[in-house]
Amino acid sequence: MSVSVRDAYIADGFADDCDELIHRLTTGEKLTYAAFAHVWKDMQMAGIYHNRTSGAEIAELSEEVIHIAKRYMVADTSNFEENVAGLFLVYALLNVQPFTGFANLRVVQDDLPAIERIEFVARRDRRMDVLYILGSVLIKGPVQYHAALRERGMEYPYRKYLEGNSNINNLGVRPKGVFYRQGKEMDLIRELKNLSVQYSKVKEEISGPDVKDPNLNYYDVHFPTKLETSFKKLITGTLDSDDDDDDDDDEGEARPGCSSGLVKDVDSIRSIKDRAMKAKVNPMKHLVGVADRYVYVQ
């Protein structure tokens, strides 16, 4: 049975973003809202609504990201700062949604002990910013108190969350994470692609579109695309066939306490590392094309 992209979870990948954000926030001392705002801006979390083509899509995404963020706010954890980070995340998402006041924080009976714990610890430690944000979320909201976490009904928008969603990573549409994995590395690759396009335009203006002068071909314009493809394979854990061929002799050997798949991955990584350490770099010649640089001249 074929699965379309519309059947995938609309906020797929956002939980990975939240994990990364909370990890960066809970590595230091007591968390403040100023520190949260700095990381929020650095990760460009407000960009989750970019390239959304319909109002219904934006509305549904607003509800789901708040639903995901609330898990961190009311999580049963020994690290209080994780709950504080979740509270700040809920507050930010409630106020950054494009349709003001549309998506609500749905609070059920099971959430009350965690909310009371946040208030108790914040009052005890005189965490004024935490108390202010908590009061703003619970009073200004928008917040609603319900008996069930989700609505019940036969309509597809309700039923699909009760029946479960497919993961968009299984459809082969993109690498893991639609919001996550778009950090500094991907930004650098995008900038490199833009520079490659500009380089190609300038070279055509100098020599003409049909003239191939090796003295002007200092840079491989296809390198950013190859790098992006390789980086996406690295993210998803996809290995090329030539990497797997080097480890065919070790497939039959099993190590105690390790699965065969894990052993194969470890061996593949070691093989790549060994080849990288042994490979020799040829000296780059002056005023030659990219294709000619790989030919070593004595």
Model confidence pLDDT, tens digit, residues 128-144: 888 888 888 888 878 87
Indicate whether 243 pLDDT > 70.
Answer: no
Q: What pLDDT score does 276 carry?
A: 66
Half-sphere exposure of 249 (CA within 13 A, CB side): 2
Q: What pLDDT score does 24 carry?
A: 83
> Percentages helix, strand, coil for the chain, rounded to the nearest 5?
60, 5, 35
Distance of alpha carbon 81 from alpha carbon 22, whole angstroms: 9
Query: Which amino acid, residue 265?
Result: D
Model confidence pLDDT, tens digit, residues 245-264: 444 444 444 444 445 555 56
Q: What is the CA radius of gyration of the chain?
A: 26
Which uninterrupted H or E stretch holds 105?
strand 105-107
**Could you give the C-alpha distances from 284 to 288, 291, 292, 294, in angstroms and in order?**
9, 11, 9, 8
Average pLDDT over residues 71-92: 86
Mean pLDDT, the chain, rounded, equals 72
For residue 8, name the pLDDT band (cuts at 50, 70, 90).
low
Beta-bridge partner residues of 8:
166
Indicate whether 241 pLDDT > 70.
Answer: no
Residue of higher predicted confidence among 67 and 28: 67
Nearest to 223 by CA among 201, 199, 203, 247: 199
Rounded to 5°, angle at Cα 290 from 202 and 232? 85
SS3 236: helix
* Cβ–Cβ < 8 Å for 88, 133: yes
Indicate whether 213 pLDDT > 80.
Answer: no
The least confident of 14-18, 92-96, 142-146, 248-252 is: 248-252
The pTM (predicted TM-score) of the whole model is 0.50
Beta-bridge partner residues of 145:
107
